[in-house]
């Protein structure tokens, strides 16, 4: 297993509370690494909106002649108001320049097809 952080400008000091919770839950409490990551993210307030976490795993091969499976799970931070489905909004509206001016995202389309749209709250 390998844990990685997906941040453009990664600040390692923000990950210390996450790593402490991850190590405690995995090694002290005996939980599995994949199940420990959501617990650790919930208990590491400093990481918050700053980065996503990647967990790379390699499963054991069933026989010496075959290969194991390599998987990557991505744990994203999202908020319906500021980062729906892991996509960040700009801090300010490019038209009016107001800070945090975004209205609630609205889904248009049917189940499985469609898109989210968001508009500035300022007229």
Is 92 exposed, middle or buried, given 0-12, 13-18 or 19+ CB atoms closer than 10 A?
A: middle
Contact 84, 78 (CB under 8 A): yes
pTM of the model: 0.64
**Of all helices (H) and strands (E), which one includes residue 107?**
strand 106-110
CA dist., res. 77 & res. 100, Å (int): 18
In tens, the pLDDT along 57-83 reads 988 878 877 788 889 998 887 766 666
Residue 48: per-residue pLDDT: 62
In tens, the pLDDT along 11-70 reads 888 888 889 999 999 999 999 988 898 888 888 777 766 678 899 998 887 887 778 888
Checking if the pLDDT of 84 tops 70, the result is no
Residue 28: per-residue pLDDT: 93
Mean pLDDT of 88-93: 79
Residue 45: per-residue pLDDT: 73
Checking if the pLDDT of 108 tops 70, the result is yes
Mean pLDDT of 96-108: 81
């Amino acid at each position: 297993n390998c844990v990685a952080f997906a941040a453009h400008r990664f600040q390692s000091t923000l990950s210390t509370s996450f790593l402490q919770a991850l190590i405690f839950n995995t090694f002290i409490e005996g939980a599995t690494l994949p199940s420990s990551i959501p617990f650790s993210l919930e208990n590491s307030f400093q990481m918050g909106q700053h980065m996503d976490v990647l967990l790379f795993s390699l499963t054991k091969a069933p026989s010496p002649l075959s290969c194991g499976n390599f998987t990557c799970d991505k744990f994203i931070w999202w908020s319906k108001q500021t980062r729906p489905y892991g996509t960040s909004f700009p801090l300010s509206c490019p038209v009016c320049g107001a800070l945090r001016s975004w209205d609630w995202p609205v889904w248009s389309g049917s189940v499985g097809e469609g898109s989210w749209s968001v508009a500035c709250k300022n007229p």
